[in-house]
Structure 1
Amino acid sequence: MLPLRAPRLRSALLGLAAAAFSLPALAQDANPIPPAELTDAAILPVMERAVDEVIRPGYRDLSTSATRLSQAVAAYCAAPSPDTRAAAHAAFDDTVAKWSFIEIVRDGPVLQQNRFERILFYPDRKSTGLKQVQSLLAKADEKDTDAAALPGKSVAVQGLGALEYVLYGTGSDALDTGKDSFRCRFGAAVAENIAATANALSAEWEKPDGVQKDWKHPGPDNPVFRDGKEAITALLGVLVHGAETIRDQRIESFYKGEDTPPRPKSAVYWRSGNTWKSIEGNLDGLNTLFRRSGMEELLDPGEASIAGSVEFVMKSLERTAPKIDSDIEKAVTEPTERKKIDFLIINARDLVLRLSNDFGGAIGLGAGFSFSDGD
């Protein structure tokens, strides 16, 4: 486990992990089993299940949810009321959840045409998005209510962060006072743009001869993966980088322990209370991808406990995230809530090591192997 920043935090976290969430230690063998030999015959079924049972359904769910979000925001603009507002908020929450599940797959079409940032521009360390959205709302230029024009603008005003500010940020109460306000119509354009991006992503993954073929059939003529080892390296990289992102970008962007001042308004989705729901979605995506792809089948039978320990840590994290107060300011100031966040940090670090070092090493990918470029 990586060292923590302060002795006091280290002792507190280790005590918490030992007392309440003790994790099974991996068996130590004086004669360790050599890494399993990876073969394309073993890898291809894993890649097929990852694509067909997790990634494609994930993007389909996002596309469906984003389309409903676009419709709900448009309905709210046309007829503002407590009911249409609640429906728009519920649709926003659902799209955040669906995106959080699949956003762990930071590979493939989502990295083209700035699609990832067009759905979620985060982290935004200089509040670029907030400033640009506030400026746009102040100018009230009718051209900014045209969804077709949004892709040509800054990614900071195109995605879920911008829409969250419209629906929940300062001045959002005015949305209820009159139909088709500029602010609401801009929000509707953003929602429509999110839906268009989500639809495009799903369509890319559904093409039989497109990215799904590249992921499921590595080979010398494949423009993405020359062999099965490169493919499984990328899949494991999705898990490793996903766990790192939860720790580094989703939590430590606003909370780094009791000895560092918290920055609750730097948390993703803090206005809508979706911070922990988003992290819960990320964890669900990681756990589902690991389980449904059947990655444990790549392990030698004698190393099966590695997969069990990975799943145990994931489930422990999934159980903890929903229990943290959705009010981020309370979560980072109340001792009981901070302990839960500390638990997430320490065990997200542990998860990275179990995936990268333990699992990666057991299937023949050394601890120093680069999961990002296949080298």
Structure 2
Amino acid sequence: MMRLLALAMIVLCPVLPASAADFTPSLDSMIVDYIRPAMSDFAGATEKLPEAVTSVCRTGDEKSADAFKAAYSQTLQSFARIQFLRFGPLLDDDRLSRLAFLPDPRGIAQRQIRKIYAKQDADVGAPESLKGKSVAVQGLTALELIAFDKNSALVLGQPGERKDFTCAYAQAIARNLATTAESLVADWADPAGYSAVLLSADAGNERFHSSREAVEAVFNALVTGLIIVRDQDVLPALGSSREDAKPRRFPFSRSGNAVVYLTGELRGVQDALGSLDLKELTPDDFRWIFDTLTFEFGNAQILLTRLQPPLRQTFREGGSYEEVKVLAIALKSIRDTMAEELAGALELAGGFNALDGD
């Protein structure tokens, strides 16, 4: 009799639709397994920058130059893995723009930095006063402009009348980057901070009314991350043809780190998506999506490994231009698979482009 009753209960209680699922465990998994470790990695990388600046400015030899370039590259890679997390702590106090002023197609940062050098504005040599200036003249993008020339050669620490001024400016940027990274780690570690906003949605909070709304915000940040990689970082560099290509439009191409940055962006989105562990919440008929995404992300990464940095010098050589054209197609496919197929299977409001404020 009890067995029959149990069977009857199964028949009478249909499987809950995805829209009724509790996404809180997925959000918790992403916070614990991806966001917090990624923020810690970024902090660990930026922590090395001030000493790297000090060393290259003190000696200017090949060893210190290589150490600075390695520290800068590592910082870019770790930043690329968090820059798409455009919610909560990364947006507080305009931190994202302070960390990197992107995109900057009109060269605003370069123009403002030229004015700083023309005036010999000593305020940029102190972390606190630098923080009060335009976001365009601080962060990783500004550090690249003052540390590398247009041919990707390191000029920081090299002899010249601007050496001391540039070194003080670079040190202030490096210290602010490290301080901001530490703040991000602390904010995400705070159990009463933004983590609580995401994880208490079903209990009712002012930002999200359900865990579904919370995961939609996170999911759309990942989709927006893919849009940024393709529409802001790749397509402008491609131009309309090989002859019209503008490799300087690749992010961080000046320092020869475009491939490093693009690889980090893509790997970050993939790892963040994996940390949500959404497969168990996806109907069986749609679980093929995850294998497809693994394949598509893998293809995109293979294309990136075929590119020879620095792209400013190599982009028009060999098959680099064609590889990036295929990369743009692959990125669109990944975006469509996530925003249409996966979002549809989970009944999420996917395909939202946060950059447009839709």
**TM-score in terms of structure 1 length:** 0.84
Match of 2:61 in 1: 81
Per the alignment, residue 89 of structure 2 pairs with 109
Q: 1:361 to 1:260 in 2, by over 3 A?
A: farther
Give distance in 2, aligned partners of 1:66 and 1:329.
25
Aligned to 1:37: 18
SS of 1:130's partner is helix
The sequence identity of aligned pairs, in percent, is: 25
Q: In structure 2, what is the Cα distance between the partners aligned to 1:290 and 1:358?
A: 14
Query: Which of 67, 74, 88 does residue 47 from structure 2 map onto?
Result: 67
Is 1:271 matched with 2:251?
no
Aligned partner of 2:138 in structure 1 is 158
Specify the SS of the correspondent of 1:113: helix
**How far 1:332 moved relative to its partner?**
3.6
The equivalent position to 1:240 in structure 2, one of 206, 209, 223, is: 223
Select 1:176's aligned residue among 145, 154, 158.
158
C-alpha deviation, 1:366, in angstroms: 5.7
Aligned length: 340
1:14-53 superposed matches below 5 A? 36-41=17-22, 43-53=23-33
Segment of structure 1 superposing worse, 289-298 or 226-235: 289-298
Task: Give the aligned partner of residue 207 of structure 1.
Answer: 190
Checking the alignment, whether the CA contact within 8 Å between 2:58 and 2:157 is kept in structure 1 is no
* Contact 1:74–1:185, Cα closer than 8 Å, also in 2: no
The unaligned stretches of length 5 or more in structure 2 are 1-14
Sort the Cα spacing of 1:130 and 1:355 in 2 relative to 1 into closer, same or farther, 3 A.
same
In the alignment, residue 200 of structure 1 is paired with which amino acid?
Answer: S
2:347 to 364, 368, 374: 364
C-alpha deviation, 1:336, in angstroms: 1.0
Q: Distance in 1 between matches of 2:143 and 2:254?
A: 11
- Any unmatched runs of 5+ in structure 1? 1-33
Residues 36 and 362 in structure 1, CA contact (< 8 A), matched pair in contact too: no
Mean CA deviation greater in 174-183 or 341-350: 174-183
1:139 counterpart = 2:128: no
Structure 2 residue identity aligned to 1:207:
D
Distance 1:223 1:83 in 2: 53
Distance in 2 (CA, whole Å) between partners of 1:172 and 1:75 is: 14
291-300 vs 347-356, greater mean Cα deviation: 291-300
Partner of 1:17: none
Give the match for residue 4 of structure 1.
none
Q: Which has the higher contact order (CA 8 A, sep 6+)?
A: 1
Who is 2:80 aligned against? 100
Specify which of 287, 299, 315 is matched with residue 316 of structure 1.
Answer: 299
Deviation at 1:106, TM superposition (A): 1.4
* Residues 158/374 of structure 1: CA separation in 2 closer, same or farther (3 Å cut): closer
Letter paired with 1:282 = E
- Paired with 1:334 and 1:363, the residues of 2 have a C-alpha distance of 43
Within 1, Cα distance between the matches of 2:73 and 2:357? 35
Is 2:49–2:68's contact at 8 Å kept on the other side of the alignment? yes
Asked if 2 retains the 8 angstrom alpha-carbon contact of 1:46 and 1:295, the reply is yes
The 1:259–1:374 alpha-carbon spacing in structure 2 relative to 1, beyond 3 Å, is closer
What is the CA-CA distance between 1:299 and the residue it aligns to?
0.6
| 3-state SS, counterpart of residue 187 of structure 2 | helix
Q: Distance in 1 between matches of 2:47 and 2:70?
A: 13
2 CA distance for matches of 1:184 and 1:259?
Answer: 38
Compared CA separation, residues 251 and 331, structure 1 to 2 (3 A)? farther
Separation (CA, whole Å) in 1 of partners of 2:357 and 2:140: 31
Any conservation in 2 of the 1:89–1:167 contact (CA below 8 Å)?
no
User: Equivalents in 2 of 1:89, 1:318: separation in Å?
Assistant: 23
Of 120, 123, 128, 2:100 maps to 120
Q: Do the aligned partners of residues 371 and 140 (structure 1) sit closer, same or farther apart at CA in structure 2, a change above 3 Å counting?
A: closer
1:272-331 C-alpha deviation (Å, 9 max, x unpaired): 111111010011101111112212222112211011112211111122112212132454
Q: Which stretch has the larger CA shift, 51-60 or 314-323? A: 314-323
Q: RMSD across aligned C-alpha pairs, in angstroms?
A: 2.4
- Per mean C-alpha deviation after superposition, the further-off stretch among 121-130 and 258-267 is 258-267
* Alpha-carbon separation, structure 1, partners of 2:154 and 2:297: 37
Cα deviations by residue, 1:170-202 (Å, 9 ceiling, x for unpaired): 695372227971111111111111111111111
Counterpart selection for 1:148 from 128, 131, 154? 128
2:307–2:320 contact (8 Å) kept in structure 1: yes
In the alignment, the residues of structure 1 paired with residue 225 and residue 335 of structure 2 have an alpha-carbon distance, to the nearest angstrom, of 9
Q: Return the letter of the residue paired with 1:190.
A: I
| Cα distance between partner residues in 1 of 2:71 and 2:95 | 21
Larger radius of gyration: 2
